[in-house]
Amino acid sequence: MSGTAQLNDELLHAKSPFELRVHLGRGVPDSDVRSALATGDMGFLHSFTTGSTVDGPGVRVVAWTTGCQFRCLYCHNPDTWNMSNGIPITLGKATEELHKYRTGLKVMAGGFTLSGGEPLMQDRFAVRLLTAVHAMGIHTALDTNGSLGARLTDAELGEIDLVLLDIKNWDEQRHRRLTGMEVGPVLDFARRLAKLKRPMWVRYVFVPGWSDDARNISQLARFAASLGNVERVDVLPFHQMGRFKWKELKLSYALDDVQPPARETIEHACALFRAEGLKAY
């Protein structure tokens, strides 16, 4: 693949997704990007991280993809928005990397999570990588904003043991203000996963002043409970760990003055989900 960066472990592995990474795939010709997207022979990754305990059950190896069509005001990884900021990696190399972890992940009842960015911006690569990892007997999870879920067939969804669906807001207008995109396709994907009885966790980022309305959260909780496939809800407190990336990338950051919520406030939000019979943390 012409223009593919020289890969080494240092480049491929990050201590955390909070490392700022830009232009790593800039040398890849457009024609290679187009063919990679069409076939999934190559993908673009911000990094691999190991040892996460918050991105699915057990200990996870996470591959962070680049490319995202959302523009969440609180995004802590805006360097993942642009696909060409990621490292170009062949499907074979990515699979080989994950193969190294297979025994450890099985022993620790952990697995592999594909996150981003939005992994389904590279849906062929995502599906082929998840399928290859699944074939190794490793638990697979997809962390997604859900809006491109229609790109996956029912059979392809069968290769994913768990979908972590990020629902940013129940209210259409607030969702648009917060992400720049519509919530409708996200909810359609949630309904489809429910119909297929595919296990799902809902992730909800709680941002004071933006996604903290109790009525709104209760409506989302009712919807999630009605689906029947939601195993748990993670209420994720807004934080400022990604602020420096907005500054470095010279992006205008609207949440400069927003303080992370207090633990009791998050507990209150969890209680709204629990009131509908869901497990919430």
Binding site for ligand SF4 (CB under 6 A): 68, 70-72, 75, 77, 80, 116-118, 145
Amino acid at 199: P
Measured in whole angstroms, how far is the alpha carbon of residue 121 from the centre of its chain? 11
Smallest gap from residue 67 Cβ to ligand SF4 (A) = 9
- Residue 23 backbone class (left: φ over 0; alpha: ψ -120 to 50; beta: rest): left
Smallest gap from residue 72 Cβ to ligand SF4 (A) = 3
Amino acid at 94: A
Q: Which is nearer to ligand SF4, 122 or 145 (CB)?
A: 145
Task: List all residues 6 or more positions away from 19 whose beta carbon is below 8 Å from its beta carbon.
Answer: 47
| Distance of alpha carbon 132 from alpha carbon 159, whole angstroms | 9
- Using CB atoms within 10 Å of the CB of residue 202, give its burial: 0 to 12 exposed, 13 to 18 middle, 19+ buried: buried
Q: Which is nearer to ligand SF4, 68 or 98 (CB)?
A: 68
| Whether the bond into 116 is cis, omega within 30 of 0 | no
| Distance of alpha carbon 199 from alpha carbon 99, whole angstroms | 24
Classify each residue of 42-62 as buried b or exposed e, where b means 16 or more C-beta atoms within 10 Å of its C-beta: bbbbbbbbbebeebbbebbbb
Smallest gap from residue 75 Cβ to ligand SF4 (A) = 3
Q: Which is nearer to ligand SF4, 101 or 189 (CB)?
A: 189
Q: Which is nearer to ligand SF4, 132 or 162 (CB)?
A: 162
Q: Which is nearer to ligand SF4, 75 or 266 (CB)?
A: 75
Amino acid at 155: A
Smallest gap from residue 140 Cβ to ligand SF4 (A) = 19
DSSP letter for 82, please. S
Q: Which is nearer to ligand SF4, 225 or 236 (CB)?
A: 236
Q: Which is nearer to ligand SF4, 138 or 200 (CB)?
A: 200
Smallest gap from residue 80 Cβ to ligand SF4 (A) = 5
Smallest gap from residue 207 Cβ to ligand SF4 (A) = 11
Smallest gap from residue 133 Cβ to ligand SF4 (A) = 21
